[in-house]
Amino acid sequence: MIGHVLLTLAAHAADGAITGEARAIGTAQSSFPLDAEGTTAGWGPALDTRLRVRAAGATGALRGVAETDLFTGLLVGDTWALDPLDRRGRDDRDALTLAGVSPRRLAVGYRFPWADAEVGLQTSQWGLGLVANDGTQSPWFGRTDFGDRALRARVATAPIQRGDVPLYVIAAGDRIVEDEFARWSAGDAAYQGVLALLYADGGLDAEVVRRVGVYSAWRSQRLADGDALRAWVSDAYADWTVPVGPLALQLSAEGAMIRGTTDAARTYQAPAGVQVRSGGALAQVAVSAPDQRWTAALRGAWASGDGSLDDGRVNDFRFDPDCAMGAVLFDEVLSQVDLRAYAQVADPSQAAAPPDGAETLAGDGALHAATAVQPMVSVRPTRLVGLRLGALAAWSTQPIAQPFETFRAGGVPTNLAGVPTEGRWLGAELDWAVAFDDPTAASPRLRPSLEVQGGHAFPAATLGVGPRVDQLLVVGRLTR
């Protein structure tokens, strides 16, 4: 919603600067049942690719940037049998087709004496990426594949000129190209207006960094099927880094609320549409040694859920899919369970037409209606080798219920195997990674890296997917 605020305000791009990243990810994952009949995703070892190219230039106060993804998607390997609502496109080998081309930025900006302006296709990043995420942040575990994009006109200014106070006011108007709620290419028409206030003191290399910001966005969208959503999104963000002896202590948090109405979902008590009342929060504390030789961090996440599915309100809050907690339990297990549930409720043999809002079951692996805690530690024993270890524990903030089976059970919370559920425990996860790269490599040389990640989810028995799901990722990158 507010895209690259700090980067844009401080942009001094060199003429003709061209950068890029080639990424290839090999994935192997154990299978698990997704319904009472034992259906699986049918997805075996696979390799997907992405080539991201960015060009930026400036002359005086005028600047421009262009960025696009090429060869994006599955290149070789097994496709899966789940619904194509999956935004990662694992149902088709489309990396070498036009579907593998995804423009991300094509914008021009101008620095006036009193303000900075930019217009064009842009990506969005705000705070920790809870609701606006450009997909470029490096997660501790897992992967990023999306990135919010919009046709945007933005103006930012620093109203307090005396004393060099780093306070900025930002206003923007968007026509959404793609985010977790709407896709222009699918026929959705979404618009939003944004007003934000940001205090940003200290650059990326500063010992003391203080950032505090708030924004409010009004969003109006009409989906391809004619359903509408109108909502206010309010967000507050803080990031504070201070030295503690030889160590660096970072405290960061973000919270968001959504209030509005939509007829994309209807209930017996609200046949004309429902109210949207949801909220979420993400917080992290991290301690780092000099030169990042080791870092210990603790993250906590909360997203509201629906205690009742028939009360005329939607309380289910969904994180941006690129704001990941862990790599398997939410990203793979629960996302595949949700996609299979959508296929069941949308099956013509079950109903003449899918229920309103059924497509929202496809969450692309986003954390939603859950509370999660994630301790992590990273160590760099040598300049070229980095090690990471993490764990995750998660609880549902609403009754655990698979929609199709719960409907067949007359509304009694029921899992995918048709068994009534108890409690809120979702499961645990153990993640590890070994990275081979050189973080001290000087630009503009080519920088190769190789990373091996393992994720082991232990879903709660009440989910019905089995006791353990394993995933192995091998990620190769070449950046400039």
Residue-level pLDDT, tens digit, the chain, 480 residues: 333 333 333 333 344 578 889 999 999 999 999 888 888 888 779 999 999 999 999 998 999 999 999 999 999 998 888 877 777 888 888 899 998 999 999 999 999 988 999 999 999 999 999 999 998 888 899 999 889 999 999 999 988 766 577 889 999 999 999 988 888 988 889 999 999 999 988 765 666 788 999 999 999 998 887 788 899 999 999 999 998 889 999 999 999 999 998 876 655 444 556 788 899 999 999 999 988 899 999 999 999 987 666 667 788 899 999 998 999 999 999 999 988 888 887 776 666 566 666 666 777 888 989 999 999 999 999 989 999 999 999 999 988 888 888 878 877 888 888 888 888 999 999 999 999 988 776 656 788 999 999 999 999 999 989 899 999 999 999 988
User: What CATH number was assigned to the domain covering residues 5-479?
Assistant: 2.40.160.100
Q: What is the pTM of this model?
A: 0.88
Q: Where are the domains of the chain?
A: 5-479
Residue with tokens 């973080």: 439
The confidence score (pLDDT) of residue 6 equals: 34
Residue 352: partners with Cβ closer than 8 Å, 6 or more residues away: none
pLDDT at position 14: 40
The Cα–Cα gap between 104 and 363 comes to 21
Q: Are 259 and 218 in contact (CB under 8 A)?
A: no
Nearest to 262, CA basis, from 234, 224, 220: 220
CA distance 215 to 5: 12
Largest CA distance in the chain: 69
Given a contact cutoff of 8 angstroms between Cβ atoms, the answer to whether 393 and 372 are in contact is yes
How high is the pLDDT of residue 245?
Answer: 87
- Look at residue 357 in the predicted model and tell me its pLDDT: 63
Residues 6+ apart with CB under 8 A from 410: none
For CA atoms 156, 157, 163, 167, the dihedral sign is: negative
Angstrom distance (rounded) from CA 92 to CA 83: 11
Query: Beta strand pairing status for 370-382 and 294-303?
Result: antiparallel
